[in-house]
Amino acid sequence: MADDPHALFEAWLAEARAAEPNDPTAMALATADGAGRPSVRMVLMKGHDPRGFVFYTNLDSRKGAELAANPSAGLLFHWKSLRRQVRVEGAVETVADSEADAYFATRSRDSQLGAWASDQSRPLDSRETFEARYEAVRARFEGGEVPRPPRWSGWRVVPETIEFWSDRPHRLHERRLFTRDGKGWREGLLYP
C-alpha cells in the first residue's frame, strides 16, 4: 500500500505516456447542472499536483456553467493499453489568474485566437461564421501578443477520492481507493 496517491498517479501517468498512442492526459470529465442532470466529455489534463487536477475551458461553456452551478466533478483516466484506469471525485475551484495566464501563454497562437473567436458550447449557424470570427480576431491581434480572454480560465478538481483500477484475469480486478482524511489520505481496497 502507498501513502501518497499523487505519487502513484505520477508513476502510472509516466507509464501511460510511454504506452498510450494518443493523449495519455485525456480524461473524461463528468459534471451535473443545478438540477442534477449529468453530462460527460473528454478534456485534457494540463496539470496535476497535490492540490488537484487542472484543465482549461471557456467559463461560459456548458461545463463551465455546470461547474459554477454545481461545483463538483468526476474524472476518469482510461489507459486501455495498460489495462488501467484512475477515477477522481471532488470539489472544483478556478485556478488563479496567474496560473491561467501562464498556461494560456504556452498555447499555440492559433489556439489562443480560437479561444477568442469561439462562443464555446453555443449554437453556431455555420462553419463560415466561426471562420469569419477567427479571421477578425486574427486581424485584431496581428503583430502583437494574444492575451487570455477574460472568460477563459482553468478549473482544478480537488480530489476527495482517487481510485486506482487494475485489470486482472477473470474480472478479479484490483481496486485501490484513497480517501482524503484531514490533510492526508486513507487507503483501502474495494471488491471488483
Structure confidence by residue, pLDDT tens digits, 11-41: 999 999 999 988 999 999 999 999 999 999 9
Instruction: Indicate the DSSP class of residue 142.
Output: T
| CA within 13 Å, CB half, 16 | 20
In a domain, 33, yes or no: yes
| Residue 171 bears catalytic tag | yes
Instruction: Please identify which of the residues 171, 175, 180, 186 carries the catalytic annotation.
Output: 171
Q: What percent of the chain has pLDDT over 90?
A: 93
In a domain, 26, yes or no: yes
66 phi/psi in degrees, rounded to 5: -65, -40
Read off the C-alpha cell for 178.
Answer: 484513497
- The whole-chain average pLDDT of the chain stands at 95
Is the residue at 84 inside a domain?
A: yes
Number of domains in the chain: 1
User: Which pLDDT band, with edges at 50, 70 and 90, does 162 fall under?
Assistant: very high
Percent of the chain residues topping a pLDDT of 70: 99
Whether 117 is covered by a domain: the verdict is no
Instruction: Give the per-residue pLDDT at 2.
Output: 61
Task: Identify the domain containing residue 166 by its residue range.
Answer: 5-106+150-190
CATH number for position 162? 2.30.110.10
